[in-house]
Homo-oligomer: A and B are copies of this chain.
Amino acid sequence: MTKPVKRPRNSAQTKELILAAATAEFARRGLDGARVDQIAKRARANKTLIYTYFGSKDGLFQAVIERAYQELRQAQRDLIVRHLDPDAGMEKFVRLTYRAFLDNPEIIPLASSENLHRARHLGKSKKIRELFDPLPETITDLLTRGAQEGVFRPDIDPIDLYVSIVSLCSYHISNQYSLSVLLKTKLMIPERRRQREEHIVDMVRRFVCQTDRDAARQKSV
């Protein structure tokens, strides 16, 4: 009589399964709402393994958000835009950012939970901080080139702009449930989602682009 082989002893795969299950659970319930038991069950792994591999629930959460941010940044692929002309580059950047959120929806509740915990885990991760190092430069590069070409206004703060782009791209996702109730509109149905992407692109472009009036004022200075 052979015992049913649960799974080959493959620590890498087990670790991966746990991470996936944890990502789903933490995204669904938050750090405090998620249950280690449930994560183990979802991963079809023994609960003890979580502690072997990740040390603690907090350690697991840390690993989860590290990976989630990593994947977000990969999906964002912002370096692409340095090769594009400023206007197209800015649009591309916005679209890439928007898509990055859509394709990695877990990141949004994970970030919510992490902020409730005052970025305790994020702060500990040098890896993640480095991941975001190039980002401001990318924006600055676009803005600078755009200003030089006279297509963008010259006095735009890249941090403010980036924060705004991320706000516009993610707030309606993270707050979709309350917004649905308050505005009586489902924001995440496909049609609305497409409309929103265009809206954001439009908003950003109108913000960065120089108008005739701007140009006039600029000249007078």
Interface residues of A (CB under 8 A from B): 29-33, 109, 111-116, 118-119, 122-123, 128-129, 132, 135-136, 157, 159-160, 162-164, 166-168, 170-172, 174-185, 187, 195-196, 199-200, 202-203, 206-207, 211-213
Q: CB-CB < 8 A to A195: which residues of B?
A: 157, 160
- CB within 8 A of A115: which of B33, B119, B157, B177? B177
**Given contacts A160-B196, A213-B212, are A177 and B119 in contact (CB under 8 A)?**
yes
**Cβ of A136: which chain B residues have Cβ within 8 Å of it?**
183
**By the criterion CB–CB under 8 Å, are A112 and B119 in contact?**
no
- Taken together, the copies of this chain in the complex come to 4
> Separation in Å of the A217 CB from the closest CB of chain B?
13
Residues on B with beta carbons closer than 8 Å to the beta carbon of A122: 177-178, 181-182
Residues of B within 8 Å of A164, CB to CB, are 168, 199-200, 203
In the bound complex, what is the Cα–Cα distance between A208 and B155 (angstroms)? 20
Expressed in whole angstroms, the minimum distance between the Cβ of A213 and any Cβ of chain B is 7
Cα of A170 to Cα of B178 in the assembled complex, Å:
14
CB proximity of A61 to chain B, nearest CB, Å: 13
Contacts of A116 in B (CB 8 A): 29-30, 33, 109, 112-113
Residues in B with CB closer than 8 Å to A176 are: 115
Pairs A–B under 8 Å by Cβ, sample size 17:
A29-B32, A30-B32, A30-B33, A30-B113, A33-B116, A112-B112, A112-B116, A115-B176, A115-B177, A122-B177, A129-B182, A132-B183, A159-B185, A163-B183, A166-B175, A207-B207, A211-B211
Would A163 and B171 count as touching, CB distance under 8 A?
A: yes
A25 to chain B minimum Cβ distance, whole angstroms, is 12
Residues of B within 8 A of A135 (CB): 182-183
Lowest 10 A-B CB distances belong to which pairs? A167-B171, A119-B177, A32-B32, A32-B33, A167-B167, A132-B182, A160-B199, A118-B177, A112-B112, A122-B181
